[in-house]
Amino acid sequence: MNPLLNALLVVVLVLNLFALGTSRLVTVIKIVSLQGVLLGLMPLLLEEDIAMPVILTSTVTLALKGIVIPVMMLRAMRDVQIKREMEPLIGFLPSMLLGALATGLALLFAKALPLADEHTTQLLVPAALATIFVGFILLTTRAKAITQIMGYLVLENGIYIFGMLLIGVMPMVIELGVLLDLFVAIFVICIMVNHINQAFSSLDTRKLSELKE
Amino acid sequence: MNLTLLISPFIIALLAALLPSNRWRPWLPPVGGLLHFVLTLKVVFGPADTTGGLWIGLDPAGKLVLLLISALFLITSIYLIRYLKFHPQRQNRVFVACLLCTLGSMTMVTVSQHLGLMWVSIEATALCTAPLIYFNKTTRSIEATWKYLLIGFVGIALALLGTFCLAYSALHAGLQPSLSLSDLLHDAPQLSKPWLHVAFVLMLIGYGTKMGLAPMHTWKPDAYGAAPGAVGTLLAGGVTGCAFLCVLRIYQIGSVAGEFAFMSPMLIFMGLFSMAVAGVFMVGQKDYKRMLAYSSVEHMGILVLGLGIGPLALFGTLLHLINNGLTKGVLFLSAANIHRSYNSTTTDGTCGVLRRLPLSGGIFLAGFLAITGSPPFGPFISEFSILSAGFGAGKYVVSGLFLLFLLIVFIGMGSTVLPMLQGKEPKTTTRTPYREGFLTLAPPLVLLGAVLMIGIWIPDSLQTLLQSTVDFLEVQP
């Protein structure tokens, strides 16, 4: 039982709901960045004897999720001059409620899962499930490319939380999750360099519908 | 393990990135492809090399896929010499370098003996292929690339979650978690069942997204439609083959764990569903490149269906992997010739192909007959083998549906292909300066020859390789 870790996870869950409830892109980016910082701290809390790989994981995560990607996102946002997410598929309040419902269900569901003894009192599994679900909501119901990327980032954070279960036994494998951040970085570069805004002028992925059938 | 095989594509990619000449750069992929192919033949058919480590090594399944991607890459790269010559004004530095990196990362997938490394390699293929799809730089290709990346990355993220679950299944069972394939196969019977199930589902969905199984196939028609035809060959034959290898890995772990009964219905459902979706969208399809993409969805469906039917169908499934890859090459390359001549990918703007381009049109027609499973081509043999295994395993409904969907696809594809090939040339469409030449005809023709050969007579070396893969994957009770 690690009270501090559980407290951090609760904060992560609350941040999820905030991310769902706001229309201001800057706020979403800041929320996800804060989530990244918390995630970066977690490996340090989980391990009693702090070894080199754990410190490495922690630093890389903190730097990437907490600083590099948010800064890139903010720059991209400034480049394409978008401030708000307009007309999401599901409104902000309903999606927030949906997120809360998912969090509750994740808590119940995780109780039913067979877990190793040392993990039964931790919130890791429910937090991971809830965060992945919130990521999916953001990814599928938002129209702006930037919010979709934020959704992907949240989804990825959920997977990272799940990876914490394994950090004691295979720390380097958790590092794999950091590679997903690479994708995100590339997405952002795509937006900045790559004329999505010139071609579609609004960065609205719903306008990317020429290929629909 | 032959490290040159693994590293040479990346070195040549670096050379391509450094070479200043836009004119000479397209010659690098064939050189890299040839080197890769020779080395591949050496490691696949040469004396057995047992020096595989924890991370890399070649098992029969890896050899089979390696052979396929190497052959396809060589053929495609030869075709691309002419293709890139048609577009002298376009910078091809990124394109050529990424093409070679794709070969390198696909090779990495095939030699990965560690599920973590395998996942990284799949991620690398996704990253390397995106600029290839984007090569035409039109709004269509931006949209296609965006979808390809977004859907593909969600799939890859889920595959990673599945990989974590697999490791956790060992932890939960009180074993030392490891993601090395040999450890997993050794420990498989003791792995915690619920977590193994979760891992299987997530990895099937994750890598299935990369394969393009329905309902996660939505990126496929867009990506194949927007990408240059030759790239379509690599995507439909090579990259999907690598993703299928990943599914094979988790399938093998599941079978050794004695979970075939859990996996089989899911594989069969995904397979039949993909075939059905492909059939529905193929009927009345106006764009022949998108039609080929749906055909790829269908054949990916056939592959997982074959896995779901069980060990009896394994030989047919593996043979179909090869057949599908080669036939897709025939179709995409000849379709690229047609596209070049008509400057249109819709059937409205394209008819009378057999008159204007008798050779490309003829190859395309033969490819169509082959991919829909007509004798005497290879896919007929493999599809028939899967079908008879289905009946042999007593899955009559499944086999019946399989036949039905094959028929629907045949009709759907025929209704697009035949009007396009026959008839008179339209007077309205202008003829582009494209003329058929050796470099654009020989590659699809060679592949067609290979498909025909497999249909009539499977070479002994291939037969041995397939059989050893079946033995490798089959679970000895």
**pLDDT for residue B240:** 94
Q: What percent of chain A has pLDDT over 70?
A: 81
Return the residue in A183, A203, A205 with the most chain B beta carbons within 10 A, the one to mutate for interface testing. Answer: A183
pTM, two decimals, is 0.92
Longest CA pairwise span in chain A (Å): 56
Show residues of chain A in contact with B225, CB under 8 Å.
Answer: 211
Selection from A76, A138, A205 nearest residue B147 by Cα: A205
Report residue A205 as tokens. Answer: 């992925």
Of B127, B142, B153, the CB nearest to A196: B142
CB burial of residue B454 (10 Å; 0-12, 13-18, 19+):
buried
Using CB atoms, which residue from B142, B164, B165 is nearest to A199? B142
Contact: B164, A179; criterion CB under 8 Å: no
- Which residue among A116, A179, A205 sits closest to B171, beta carbon to beta carbon? A116
Query: Which backbone phi and psi does B114 adopt, to 5 degrees?
Result: -130, 125
What the block records as the tokens of B12 is 């040549």
Specify the residue for token string 């004897």: A49
Name the residue among B116, B123, B221 with its Cβ closest to that of A173.
B116
User: Tens of pLDDT along B252-292?
Assistant: 999 999 888 999 999 999 999 999 999 998 888 888 889 99
Interchain CB distance below 8 Å, B177 and A170: yes
Report the residue of A46, A122, A176, A207 to disrupt the B interface, i.e. the one with the largest count of B CBs within 10 Å. Answer: A176
Name residue, tokens 């969208």: B281
Cβ within 8 Å of residue A107, ≥6 positions away: A126, A130
Alpha-helix residue ranges (DSSP H) falling in B212-285: 219-226, 229-233, 240-256, 260-282
Provide the shortest C-alpha distance from residue A31 to chain B (in Å). Answer: 21
Q: Are B168 and A165 a contacting pair at CB < 8 A?
A: yes
Contact A156 B157 (CB under 8 A): yes
Q: Does A213 map to a domain?
A: no
What is the predicted pLDDT for the residue at B321? 95
* Per-residue pLDDT reduced to its tens digit, A59-116: 888 888 888 888 888 887 777 777 776 677 778 888 889 999 999 998 888 888 888 7
Q: How many CB atoms lie within 10 A of CB B301?
A: 30
B139 to A199: CB separation less than 8 angstroms, yes or no: yes
* Cα–Cα distance measured from residue B181 to residue B171, given in angstroms and rounded to the nearest whole number: 16
Question: pLDDT value at position B209?
Answer: 94
The answer as to whether A212 is a domain residue is no
In this complex, the residue of B139, B157, B165 whose CB is nearest that of residue A210 is B139
Are the beta carbons of A183 and B149 separated by less than 8 Å? yes
Are B160 and A176 within 8 A, CB to CB?
yes
Size of interface A-B (CB pairs under 8 A): 101
Let me know if residue A99 belongs to a domain.
yes
Residue A184 reports pLDDT greater than 60: yes
β-pair partners for A144: A204
Looking at residue A208, its pLDDT comes to 58
Binning pLDDT at 50, 70 and 90, where does residue A201 land? very low
pLDDT for A26 equals 87
User: In angstroms, what separates the C-alpha of A131 from chain B's closest C-alpha?
Assistant: 13
CB contact under 8 A, B127 and A208: no
> SS3 breakdown of chain B: % helix, strand, coil, rounded to 5?
80, 0, 20
- What's the confidence (pLDDT) of residue A202? 46
Q: Residue holding tokens 């990196």?
A: B101
Nearest-neighbour CA in chain B from A2: distance (Å): 19
Which residues in chain B are closer than 8 Å to A205, comparing Cβ atoms?
A: 146
Nearest by CB to A211, which of B119, B143, B160? Answer: B143
Asked if residue B376 has a cis previous peptide bond (ω within 30° of 0), the answer is: yes
Interatomic CA distance for residues A192 and A80, integer angstroms: 8
The predicted structure's pLDDT at residue B207: 94
Query: Any idea which residue has 């009539």 for tokens?
Result: B456
Q: Total domain count for chain A?
A: 1
User: What are the tens digits of pLDDT across the range B20-35?
Assistant: 888 888 899 999 999 9
Q: What gap in Å lies between CA B216 and CA B297, rounded to an integer?
A: 10
Instruction: Provide block-wise average pLDDT over 10 residues at a time, chain B (477 residues).
Output: 83 90 87 93 78 77 93 93 82 89 94 90 90 83 84 90 91 85 88 91 94 89 89 92 94 91 93 93 87 93 93 92 94 91 81 85 93 90 93 91 93 89 73 79 93 91 91 75
Count Cβ atoms below 10 Å from residue B52 Cβ, excluding itself.
16
What is the predicted pLDDT for the residue at A194? 57
Inter-chain CB proximity B194 and A114 less than 8 Å? yes
pLDDT attached to residue A148: 82
- Per-residue pLDDT, averaged over A44-64, amounts to 80
With a cut of 90, say whether residue A131 has pLDDT above it: yes
Which residues span the domain enclosing A65? 3-207
Residue B157 contacts A where some CB pair is shorter than 8 Å: yes
Rg (CA), chain A: 17
